[in-house]
């Protein structure tokens, strides 16, 4: 295996070596650099950083001015993925919506694996793609266990090496099908070859996730568990780890934090007929020129 694609196996290595793999969304090269380079020194001497990049369907689509309905197809996603991979070294997890038909998913797996992506996540939904965090009046349809298992199995057969991971994302809690259904699916998806389980929830309280985690931890052949605490975000990483979660994904926060400031800047320029008042929302010019330094040629 060449040096570039040794990135693929870095996610499984992190899962072996760390209590929690901390993942932040990126949707272009610059946000990729934020995930790559941001570090915080804590008062107790610890230093923390993100371990991996989430290339999510929501942030990718919305940053292109399109809704999260799979209108941004795999070809367009690959362009964004390459843009991020070009300037980063951390492992990447790609959110491939429902993965499309198994035959198509197999090709997506091969493309992502070849690019050096570490894992693909597919969700057990069918029909028109809708984001999971919509209000309840937006209709979603869950896939059958049988169909989704076939997709997982075909994906695993399609990958060329042994390191690429397929993450099975369970939407039972989003679709109010209950924890029993979510657990039944987790066991079936693991039996079909899933390398990790992502359990999603859009309740404000973390209670249903914690109940799922408690019951999931009793499954004998369980795989690493992933949580996306976007709505139930009062819970800490430590609490999720104590409940048995191995990967925590912050799925959309760079996009959501950039957008409000950009709107303020645009409004300030219109209000004042000049940009002076927008300075408070903007980086100074010298800083932006040094944001991505030119490489030194020796």
The C-alpha angle with vertex 50 and arms to 47 and 53, in degrees rounded to 5, equals: 170
Q: How far is the CB of 256 from ligand SPV (least distance, A)?
A: 11
Size of the chain, expressed as the number of residues it contains? 298
CB 66 within 8 A of CB 72: yes
Among 95, 124, 171, 195, binds Mg ion (CB under 5 A): 95
Segment lying near ligand SPV (by CB under 6 A), choices 7-15, 128-136, 183-191, 283-291: 128-136
- Identify the residue whose tokens are 């259904």: 181
Q: Is 135 a catalytic residue?
A: no
Q: Which is nearer to Mg ion, 29 or 67 (CB)?
A: 67
| Alpha-carbon gap, residue 150 to 126, rounded angstroms | 14
Segment lying near ligand SPV (by CB under 6 A), choices 5-13, 130-138, 181-189, 236-244: 130-138
Q: Per-residue x/- mask for ligand SPV, residues 70 to 109, rule CB under 6 A?
A: -------------------------x--------------
Helix (H) or strand (E) holding 184: helix 178-191
Q: How far is the CB of 249 from Mg ion (least distance, A)?
A: 11
The CA distances from residue 107 to 113, 142, 152, 266, in Å, are 10, 23, 13, 42
Which of 107, 105, 101, 111 shows the shortest CA–CA distance to 81? 111
Query: How, if at all, do strands 165-170 and 141-142 pair?
Result: unpaired
Among 14, 52, 53, 58, binds ligand SPV (CB under 6 A): 58
142 touches ligand SPV by CB under 6 A: no
25 touches Mg ion by CB under 5 A: no
The binding site for Mg ion (CB under 5 A) comprises 57-58, 95
Active site residues: 68
């Amino acid at each position: 295996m060449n040096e570039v694609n040794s990135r693929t196996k870095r996610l499984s290595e992190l899962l072996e070596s760390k209590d929690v793999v901390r993942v932040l969304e990126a949707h272009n090269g610059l946000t990729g650099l934020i995930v790559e380079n941001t570090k915080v020194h804590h008062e107790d001497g610890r230093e923390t950083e993100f371990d991996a990049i989430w290339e999510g369907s929501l942030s990718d689509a919305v940053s292109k001015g399109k809704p999260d309905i799979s209108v941004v197809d795999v070809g367009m996603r690959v362009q964004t993925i390459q843009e991020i991979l070009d300037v980063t070294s951390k492992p990447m997890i790609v959110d491939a919506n429902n993965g499309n038909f198994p035959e198509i998913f197999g090709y997506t797996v091969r493309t992502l694996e070849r690019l050096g992506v570490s894992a693909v996540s597919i969700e057990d939904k069918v029909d028109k793609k809708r984001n999971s965090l919509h209000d309840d009046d937006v209709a979603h349809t869950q896939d059958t266990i049988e169909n989704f298992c076939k997709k997982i199995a075909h994906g695993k057969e399609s990958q060329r090496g042994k390191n690429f991971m397929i993450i099975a994302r369970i939407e039972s809690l989003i679709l109010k099908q209950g924890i029993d259904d979510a657990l039944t699916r987790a066991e079936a998806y693991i039996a079909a070859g899933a390398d990790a389980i992502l359990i999603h929830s859009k309740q404000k309280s973390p209670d249903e996730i914690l109940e799922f985690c408690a019951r999931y931890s009793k499954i004998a052949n369980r795989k690493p568990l992933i949580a996306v605490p976007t709505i139930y975000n009062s819970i800490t990483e430590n609490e999720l780890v104590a409940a048995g979660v191995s990967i925590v994904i912050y799925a959309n926060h760079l996009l959501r934090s950039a957008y409000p400031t950009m709107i303020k800047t645009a409004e300030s320029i219109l209000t004042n007929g000049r940009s002076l008042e927008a300075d408070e929302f903007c980086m100074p010019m010298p800083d932006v020129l040094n944001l991505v330094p030119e490489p030194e040629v020796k």
